[in-house]
Structure 1
Amino acid sequence: MIPLVSSAAIFGSEFLGTALLMLLGVGVVANHNLPKTGGHGGGPQFINWGWGIAVMVGVYGAYRTGGHLNPAVTVGLAASGKDLATGIPATASNIAIYIIAQLCGGFVGAVFAWLVYKKQYDEDCEPALKRGSFCTAPQIRAYGWNCLVETVATYVLVIWVILSGYTNIATVTTADGVEQLAGSLIGPLGVMLVIVGIGNSLGGPTGYALNPARDLMPRLAHAVLPIKGKGDSDWAYSWVPVVGPLLGGVLAGLTYQIFW
């Protein structure tokens, strides 16, 4: 029998993984956007690959819980009828712990990215560029279409997650004490490439948040941190990268239930 993972372990795993994701993800955009950085103006590929690597590192950090890092992935797996990870059934309490941990990790990771670039944030810069290092914004503001883009892009991510089985990469110990590897080692590298691919193919209109914890919590960090000349946090748009990814995740889970 596979031992159940404790609530504290679930929280710690997803918190650490999501914090690492946000530290590197917010960090790469700060490196691109802010003045007096080594990566200033590196271009879209600089950002897309940075985010892909950030997701890979975060998945390793949260290996014990399948490396969700994302409420859309968690609800998508729940909607598919699968366990959240090895030894973690998709109960309401487990889903809640995953999402709370992801939100907390998203906030803390963004704060540490700000600390790393504190001196650059203190320099004069367009407020939108400072905000853009924390959260997404559309190239053309049309809330319904923006939400559709985020739904479709997140659907691609979550259906891949469900079908790849990468959420079962953790080691498990069998009843006779033998440790075995469940799932495939390609998971973290695979999701890195999927994130880069989605960014290149579908990320242009909205900046491909794909993840409520990725956008909402760094946006909150932007709102509360003492960032010089930061401007507003664009809360009018904030619902789009929450609702769109959650819809995409649920639709991906239902697709799996219907067709697989």
Structure 2
Amino acid sequence: MVNGFTGEFLGTMVLILFGTATSAGINLKKTYGSQGDWLYVSLAWGIAVTMGVYVAAMFGTQGHLNPAVTIAYALFGLFPWGQVLPYIIGQFLGAMVGAAVAAFMFIPQFKATTSQEGNGVGIFATRPAIYAPFYNFMSEVIATFAFIFVLLNLGDFTTGLKPLIVGLVITVVGIGLGTTTGFALNPARDWGPRLVYTLLPLPNKQSSAEWNYAWIPMCGPIVGAILATGLEALLK
């Protein structure tokens, strides 16, 4: 009876959280969801994660790709502490190299686009639709909590078609919970490209990489991942 209640409660909570947040993101003003290209962005990032997990798995890792996952899993005994530092260093350096290669590919487009037209840090890192630090932080906590909570219940998510499921989870998180802050979910995904944007002499780039905001996509995902993993451990 208790197990029936717990499973149905948590499952319905996840269902309504994603669904209601999607409705809010589409209907309310000043969200990324009110822009016509947000589905494109969310789907692309979801597929990107799928491809990354497949590649990582082929080289014998657990496909975390995300320091928040690595830290939270280690804290609750799901991952060896001895591998935490190599994973995190690899995640940040991989994010930086990926961002640098993409930047190089689009140099002519950077030259053709002013900062007023979209040539800014938002290409590389996340930024809030409305700057409200407490709510921005909580948005990242909630979005990452939802992502990690689902991830934990996939088991080994590097096998078979499970990486595709992980990508679909990222997509629905983006569509439903990512419209307020751009859903970093991942400190490496934000800080690596943000640093590349800071260092590279890209044409027409804006003067600031908005490092005053960067603590939110660093700390929010880590807190959300720890809370999700802790709850999972408590319930099981």
Q: TM-score range by the shorter chain?
A: 0.7 to 0.9
Q: 1:142 to 1:216 in 2, by over 3 A?
A: same
Counterpart position of 1:71: 67
Assess if the C-alpha contact under 8 Å between 1:80 and 1:256 holds in 2: no
Counterpart position of 1:123: 112
Q: Deviations over 1:31-59 (max 9, x none)?
A: xxxxxxxxxx9711111111011101100
**Equivalences, count:** 198
Greater relative CO (CA pairs within 8 A, separation 6+)? 2
Let me know the Cα RMSD of the aligned residues: 1.5
Assess if the C-alpha contact under 8 Å between 2:68 and 2:225 holds in 1: yes
Query: SS of the counterpart of 1:98?
Result: helix
Query: SS of the counterpart of 2:112?
Result: coil
Counterpart position of 1:48: 42
Query: Given residue 142 of structure 2, which amino acid in structure 1 is its aligned partner?
Result: V
Q: How does 1:83-94 map to 2 (within 5 A)?
A: 83=79, 90-91=80-81, 93-94=82-83
Assess if the C-alpha contact under 8 Å between 2:49 and 2:166 holds in 1: yes
1:104 to 65, 88, 93: 93
Runs of at least 4 residues off by over 3 Å: none
- Normalised by the length of structure 1, the TM-score is 0.73
Q: Percent identity?
A: 38
Query: Given residue 75 of structure 1, which amino acid in structure 2 is its aligned partner?
Result: I
Q: How does 1:70-219 map to 2 (within 5 A)?
A: 70-83=66-79, 90-91=80-81, 93-126=82-115, 129-167=119-157, 169=158, 184-219=159-194
What are the ranges of 5 or more consecutive residues in structure 1 without an aligned counterpart?
A: 1-40, 84-89, 170-183
Assess if the C-alpha contact under 8 Å between 1:56 and 1:192 holds in 2: yes
CA distance in 2, matches of 1:161, 1:124: 38
Assess if the C-alpha contact under 8 Å between 2:119 and 2:204 holds in 1: no
What are the ranges of 5 or more consecutive residues in structure 2 without an aligned counterpart?
A: 1-34
Counterpart position of 2:226: 250
1:233 to 209, 212, 233: 209
Assess if the C-alpha contact under 8 Å between 1:72 and 1:158 holds in 2: no
